């Protein structure tokens, strides 16, 4: 059973299309894996940072409000004074 020249060319074209699509998908997969690793690392860093931000509600039952123009050092000193009380 032989394949005509037209069929052979059609198979060749399909093969090229499939290989091209495969390469595109492999590249997309590689990019997504890299992005996934980056996002996981970012989440881990945010979680590590958030541990330091959690305040016990029994010690600080009031709501912390942001006041514009206040220096962070000033707020930290005020928090330290209030925590000692």
Rg (CA), the chain: 30
With contact defined as beta carbons under 8 Å apart, do 20 and 12 qualify?
no
Taking a C-beta distance cutoff of 8 angstroms, is the pair 64, 40 a contact? no
Residue 70 predicted with pLDDT over 70: no
Residue 73: band (very low, low, confident or very high) from pLDDT cuts 50, 70, 90: confident
pLDDT value at position 61? Answer: 52
What is the phi/psi pair of residue 71, to 5°? -80, 145
Q: Which of 23-27, 45-49, 52-56, 58-62 has the highest mean pLDDT?
A: 23-27
Share of the chain above pLDDT 70, in %: 79
Residue 74 has pLDDT above 70, yes or no: yes
């Amino acid at each position: 059973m032989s394949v005509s020249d037209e069929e052979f060319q059609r198979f060749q074209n399909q093969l090229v299309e499939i290989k091209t699509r495969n390469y595109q998908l492999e590249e997309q997969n590689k990019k997504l894996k890299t992005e996934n690793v980056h996002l996981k690392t970012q989440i881990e860093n945010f979680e590590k940072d958030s541990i330091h931000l959690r305040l016990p509600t029994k010690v600080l039952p009031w709501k912390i409000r942001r006041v514009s123009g206040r220096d962070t050092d000033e707020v930290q000193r005020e928090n330290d004074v209030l925590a000692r009380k």
